[in-house]
Amino acid sequence: MTHPTKEVEPLPDNPDRDLSWTLDSLHGFCRKDGLEDGNRHLSWSLGTFPDRWMYLNFIFHYFTPHDTDADKWIGSGIRCDRQTITVPIGGPRGRATFIEQRVWFSVRTATAYDDSRAPDLAKRLLKGPATLGFVLDDVLHHPIRMTQKDWEMRGLEPVKGASGVTAFQMLLWGGVDEWSRRWNACLDYVDRLHEVQIEDIDGSDPEKLNDLMFDPRGSLAKKYFVTAHLLKIFRRHIDVLPRSLQQMRSKWQSTYPGVDSDLLERFDNPTQLTLLKNWSRLVDHAGALHEKLAHRIEKRSGELLNLRNTLLLARATVRN
């Protein structure tokens, strides 16, 4: 992933590690603080070198249920410390733990750069692949789908001279889908902690039924309250992705607007317009999935707070 055209002396004890283009994202992926904590947001980055090379980075994050009793790291490499949330809403020993996970998409790609000062660029390009990238995940292998059918279904357009950029856009589309799936799996787990079983309400255990109806110890109302606010915390984390993706698109548009652009060395106007159209479609797709997650959270948290209020009213009625 080093810069393929950088001239260095290959010393055995100090090999070239020119990864400056990705250090911000490496920091964002590895640090325990949130991607938007502090003065710099590290969920995305893009930039260019003063030649044909360009880099693009994006980091997704989500929370997943975490079994602390079965915490045995079986992956390779170094495991990064992540944020954890532990709340008394059920699960092992009455407490549920959720741990943050991150996925980092990174691409370094050569574009059709026109530089009359470097006539041997085509030869120099052979020093490295025209596009090189990786996906780094905390836990699982991240599936990559980039068949012709995927291009057609998603409505993204490949562009000659910018194939690395469009490949990155395709990677992000798949990343958005996986991000949505993993957040929904987390919310499914929270829902299961509040499921009422048939044996809880069939009268076979009068004490349990009475607890569900009147919550004499207040534990159920507390559980509903804590869960509702846990979901609101999740909502703030979910909001990061569409905001970050929109920021990345805006940065791209400010550099390559597609109309009356002053920067034509890398992409001509038609190419810029196509890439911008792809960015817009990707942002819209992420926005649609985010809206579904946000609606699910708002609906469920509202239901839980209503249940809590009903229980508090029932307890007050019984006391009177």
Angle, CA 239 vertex, CA 234 and CA 243 arms, to 5°: 160
Strand partners, 132: 108
- Token pair listed for 279: 């960015």
Read off the DSSP letter of residue 14.
B
**pLDDT computed for residue 7 by the predictor:** 56
Residue 179 burial class via C-beta count within 10 angstroms: exposed 0-12, middle 13-18, buried 19 and up:
buried
Measuring CA to CA, which residue among 76, 23, 44, 52 is closest to residue 265? Answer: 52
- Token pair listed for 253: 């548009």
- Token pair listed for 281: 């479609």
Q: Which helix (H) or strand (E) holds 97?
A: strand 96-110
Task: Spell out the per-residue pLDDT of the chain, length 320, in tens.
Answer: 555 555 555 544 444 345 666 778 888 899 899 998 877 789 999 887 777 778 999 999 999 998 654 456 555 566 788 999 999 998 778 899 999 999 999 998 877 655 544 455 444 443 445 788 888 888 766 677 777 888 888 999 988 878 899 999 999 999 999 999 999 999 999 999 988 877 777 777 788 777 777 777 788 889 999 999 999 999 999 999 999 999 999 999 888 886 665 655 677 888 889 999 999 999 999 999 999 999 999 999 999 999 888 888 877 776 65
Amino acid at residue number 13 = D
Distance between CA atoms of residues 211 and 188, nearest Å: 24
Distance between CA atoms of residues 253 and 193, nearest Å: 44
* Phi/psi at 135 (5° precision): -120, 125
* Phi/psi at 264 (5° precision): -115, 5
**pLDDT computed for residue 109 by the predictor:** 86
pTM: 0.84
**pLDDT computed for residue 13 by the predictor:** 46
Angle, CA 223 vertex, CA 100 and CA 304 arms, to 5°: 90
The answer to whether residues 141 and 172 touch, using CB atoms and an 8 Å cutoff, is no
The answer to whether residues 57 and 22 touch, using CB atoms and an 8 Å cutoff, is yes
Q: Encode 92-115: b = buried (16+ Cβ within 10 Å), e = exposed.
A: eeeebbbbbbbbbbbbbbbbebee
269-319 helix and 240-255 helix, angle to the nearest 10 degrees:
160
- Token pair listed for 233: 């915390």
Angle, CA 76 vertex, CA 74 and CA 82 arms, to 5°: 75
Strand partners, 180: none
* Per-position DSSP letters for 69-82, written without gaps between them: GG----SSS-PPP-
Where helices occur in the chain by DSSP H, the ranges are: 23-30, 121-125, 148-154, 163-192, 198-201, 206-214, 219-238, 240-255, 269-319
